[in-house]
Amino acid sequence: MKGFVAGTCAVGDVPHTKVGSCALFAGTPAGLVFHDKNHSFSMDSETFNQEILAAMSAIGMGRAFPVTEGIVDMRPTGGDVRTQQEGFGPENPNGLNALRETYVITSGGICLYKQLAKLSGRQMRVFLIDNANSIYGTVADVVTGVNITEERFRGYLVTVYVRHRRNTGTQSGAIEIDLFYDAKFEAEEKNTHSTILDVALEGISGLILVPGSAPSNAKVLIACSADDVTAFYGTKLADQTLYKRKDGTAITNVVYANGEITFTPATAGGQYQLETADKFEAATILGVEGENVWTTLP
């Protein structure tokens, strides 16, 4: 066995209370990884690291969204037990006021806010990463086939809200991510497990094409900052699998030269778009993918 996702000493029904090697608490919050609420990962630690890294570039429901830069504060609220009292009797718990956490990010600006806002209002699962590079989630029995159930590692169930905090003069501008944990969080927390992240999880940058200096020439820019990265990636961009045409015409060749790329065949007014992250990963260009924007080349 390669390893396993540690159970953080929560095994069985009988309390075992001696303080021992599992006396660690989670460290300072350092990152979040959002994923689809119906997705889950392996309990084998090595396989989990491979799967979570692959999920960064996955297409569709398998995509994971890491937020691992710029978190400067986390404010928990809620999580208290609601009670009621009838007459002179004792207070009786009548339900859990589910936990809410607010993560504050002071980098990335309005562009990052607009990207994160795409997650706002969605019910997702979230892994929590601390400053020791441990990643925390919950374990549940998941149906993986006909009459097959196995334990799987996944994030806590939350509803995500993203807000832009304006610069007020006394308080700097920031992005605030509110996590409203599900009412079943108490049970999920009792099944908290963790493992060490052996891979670097970074977000993906969106890329766009813009017309170049000649017909059928183009440049590749980061959509948010408009930084020209054509020369940075250079000949790696000379790969026709990284592009598509709106009319469905096959791109037979792409050439890189002098900070621009040239498409063949050349068609006046042709509309081009960059491909998805998995295609860029196959071309050994990591952490980027094309935005869903068509560019008309002269």
Per residue in 35-59, pLDDT tens? 999 999 999 999 999 999 999 999 8
Sheet holding 243-245, edge to edge: 243-245, 271-274, 295-296
Q: Within a 10 A sphere around the Cβ of 296, how many other Cβ atoms?
A: 12
Q: Give the largest Cα separation in the chain, rounded.
A: 85
| pLDDT > 70? residue 9 | no
Helix (H, G, I), strand (E, B) or coil at 201: coil
The DSSP line for 3-46 is ---B-TT--SSS------TT-PPP-SEEEEEEE-TT--B-SSHH
The more confidently predicted of residues 292 and 91 is: 292
Q: Which residues contact 209 (CB under 8 A, 6 or more apart)?
A: 218, 219, 220, 221, 243, 272, 273, 274, 290, 295, 297
Interatomic CA distance for residues 230 and 235, integer angstroms: 9
Residue 7's pLDDT is 61
Rounded to whole angstroms, the Cα distance separating 186 from 104 reads: 24
Q: pTM of the full predicted structure?
A: 0.84
Tell me the pLDDT tens digit for each residue of 153-202: 999 999 999 999 988 878 888 999 999 999 888 889 888 999 999 988 98
| Residues with Cβ within 8 Å of residue 56, at least 6 apart in sequence | 63, 64, 66, 201, 202, 204, 277, 287
Give the C-alpha separation, 135 to 139, whole Å: 13
Residues 6+ apart with CB under 8 A from 265: 249, 251, 252
DSSP classification of residue 122: -
Q: Identify the sign of the CA torsion 242, 230, 116, 35.
A: positive
Whole-number mean pLDDT of the chain?
Answer: 87
